[in-house]
Amino acid sequence: MSGKVIGVRRWVAVTVLAAALVTGGIFSVWAVNWSGHAVFGAAKIPVKMATNANPVSLGGFTNGFSSSVKPALPAVVNVSSSKMVKPSSQQMQPFFNDPMFKQFFGDQFGEQFKHQQQQPEREQSLGSGVVVSPDGYILTNNHVVDGATDIKVALSDRREFTAKVIGTDAKTDVAVLKIDATNLPALTVGDSSKVQVGDVVFAIGDPFGIGETATMGIVSATNRGLGGAIEGYEDFIQTDAAINHGNSGGALIDLHGDLIGINTAILPGNGGGNQGIGFAIPINMAHSVMDQLVTHGKVIRGYLGILPETITPALEKSFGLQDNAGALVGDVTADGPASRVGLKRGDVITVLNGQKVEDANDLRLRVSQMAPGTSVDLKVIRDGQARNFNVTLGELPEKDAKAPVTEGAGSSLDGVQVETLTPDIAQQLDLPTGTHGVVVGSVDPSSPAAEAGLSRGDVIQEVNHKPVTNAHEFEQAVGSGKGPVLLLVNHGGVTAYIAIEGR
């Protein structure tokens, strides 16, 4: 009997000890200072941002996450915009020009109908926004207000204001609005550089205009770039929290209730709805853009003067590289910062200011966040040899060329028809004077070249690093057409490398 009692007592003691250790571990994890989140790289601007968020306690999660979400809801607003658009009548033109139509209705009726069809119409859109200052500054997406002539902001207390656009930045899809109001509920700005995969997050917006809605998920990925498929500068937080239509410009918050991102896009399935793949602009990026828009009215970015390409496996093999890290220089702007120090097409930038360059998106982002006039050190691989360059950045022009998306997945140039580029053809293609090469007349859609991104109107200037100025030189450079081929292609005046690999 005593043996059983001792066994029970030991079991109870072990259980109590385990419970104490687990409880201590939990509270040690949660013993974190949730306040005072500094925004990386944000300059001081005359906007009073929300601060001093209340720390989250374990007791607040007894019945769920309302202690995180509820305080944030009033700071997420509905943004409705409208603009006048002129519909196209091109689809109706063949119908109006049909002889049978003219025979029965005459020319006058057709002209009247076309005139009615061409009258401007009002186009409306709905989105969301986030109040980040009690004084009425609101962050949202550029695409929510782009071209709008009238913008209304509806608060949770049903008040409605006409908003003024302080500034927009299409390259990051960020817009800053201002309403004439004070003492507004505002979200505390967090630090998105501390966000990690697996963190619990909440997406808040006004989907479909039905009212404030919160969805929960986790951070699926950070520093996500999609090759310019969504924005010019991409460094997204990816989440599986539902971001439906109308959530654009809404808030992505963490467990503390702090703003860590601005919801901007989803990858929809065949049904067009949420598939658990949503993207938010990191608040550090959005806040930095906001600072410049408020202070300067525009975003001023550093400019290297190259067109960087991400190195695909096919390009890696074609250039004889050790790995696919770095950014391939596809084009160099004449008399730009890079050109003045001697950077060339085919160079591979592997290190920027002592830090490894992952890919073209990484290089583009880091350079864009530097001020014009900044001196940067580059490590470059050229013909297998490492070289060092020091470049003083310029200011990114208002209209800069976007890097083409090239997928190296081909095998040969079968199915590609070319002809010598003449001055007349060059003029039709709006190419710079003196451009030489062969122009692509047609590409078989099922060919490896088409899969790699070659298209009609492209001008091939090099084949496997050999310049070609006419169709004969092109045929000689291609040879049998078998095996991998590296092309330098001029598309609309901008060059890029395309690797077409053997099957």
What per-residue confidence (pLDDT) applies to 429?
82
pLDDT tens by residue, 223-241: 988 766 667 788 999 999 9
Counting every residue written for the chain, the total comes to 503
Q: Does domain 58-80+124-296 have CATH number 3.40.50.720?
A: no
pLDDT band, very low/low/confident/very high, at 493 (cuts 50, 70, 90): confident
**Mean pLDDT over the full length of the chain:** 79
Q: Are 476 and 470 in contact (CB under 8 A)?
A: no
Q: Which of 80, 128, 248, 288 is catalytic?
A: 248
288 is catalytic: no
Fold of the 416-500 domain: Pdz3 Domain (2.30.42)
Supply the DSSP string of 218-229, one letter for each residue. EEEEEEE--TTS
Q: Which of 169, 173, 240, 347 is catalytic?
A: 173
What per-residue confidence (pLDDT) applies to 23?
44
Q: Are 298 and 167 in contact (CB under 8 A)?
A: yes
Please give the average per-residue pLDDT across 320-335, as a whole number: 89
In this model, does residue 484 exceed pLDDT 50? yes
What per-residue confidence (pLDDT) applies to 267?
76
What per-residue confidence (pLDDT) applies to 48?
74
Please give the average per-residue pLDDT across 289-298, as a whole number: 92
pLDDT tens by residue, 95-113: 445 555 455 555 655 555 5
How far apart are alpha carbons 69 and 388 in whole angstroms?
50
Enter the DSSP assignment of 414.
Answer: T
16: Cβ–Cβ under 8 A, 6 or more apart, which residues? none
Q: Which of 37, 143, 287, 491 is catalytic?
A: 143
pLDDT band, very low/low/confident/very high, at 498 (cuts 50, 70, 90): confident
pLDDT tens by residue, 1-46: 444 344 444 444 444 444 444 444 433 433 333 333 333 334 455 6
List the single range of 74-78, 193-197, 238-242, 498-502 with lowest mean pLDDT.
498-502
Superfamily of domain 302-395, CATH level 4: PDZ domain (2.30.42.10)
What per-residue confidence (pLDDT) applies to 210?
75
Q: Are 284 and 192 in contact (CB under 8 A)?
A: yes
In this model, does residue 242 exceed pLDDT 60? yes
Domain with CATH 2.40.10.120 in the chain: 58-80+124-296
Q: Checking phi first, is residue 170 left (phi over 0); if not, alpha (psi -120 to 50) or beta? A: alpha
CA nearest to 330, candidates 500, 471, 491, 502 = 491
Q: Does the pTM of the predicted model rise above 0.85?
A: no
Q: Are 390 and 376 in contact (CB under 8 A)?
A: yes
Domain with CATH 2.30.42.10 in the chain: 302-395, 416-500
Enter the DSSP assignment of 90.
Answer: T
What per-residue confidence (pLDDT) applies to 36?
34
How far apart are alpha carbons 493 and 434 in whole angstroms?
11
173 is catalytic: yes
pLDDT tens by residue, 410-438: 335 777 888 888 877 887 788 887 888 89
444 is catalytic: no
